[in-house]
Amino acid sequence: MPMTRIALRRGHPDSYRQTLMNQVYQAMRDTFDVPVGDLFVMLTEHDEAQFAFGRHFMDIARSDDLVMIQITANNTRTVETKKALYRRIVERLADSPGIRPEDVLINLVEVPKENWSFGNGVAQLA
C-alpha cells in the first residue's frame, strides 16, 4: 500500500511526468510485491526558488534534474528488499525518461499497518 510523492523542478512535459510516475510504480511492483491497482502517486513541480537541495551532499553531484521521491509504506520489508527497490527505481528512471542515477533521491517512510485508512474512515489493515 505505498503512497508515493515525487517532487521535481518545473518545466518537464506531461509525457516525462507520466513516465516518471509509472516507472516508480513499476519498480515497486518489481521489488515490493505491490499489487496491480495499488497506485497512489502524487507529483509536484516546483520553481527554482521553492526547490532547494545540496548539490554535492555525500559527494554526489546533483543537477537541476534532481527528482526527490518519498515512499510511505508498511514497515514489513527487509533491508535487502529496500535496497532492491532503490536500485530498481534508479535503473528504470535511467532507462526512461533518462534520469541520471545521481539525480534520484529516495526516502522511504515506514509506518504500522494501522496507520492507513483507504476510505470510509475505516482502518482496513488494523
Q: Residue 88 contacts by C-beta under 8 Å, 6 or more apart in sequence?
A: 27, 30, 31
Peptide bond preceding 97 in cis form (omega within 30 of 0): yes
Amino acid symbol at 81:
T
3 state DSSP class of 106: strand
**Enzyme catalytic residues:** 2
DSSP 6-35: EEEES---HHHHHHHHHHHHHHHHHHS-PP
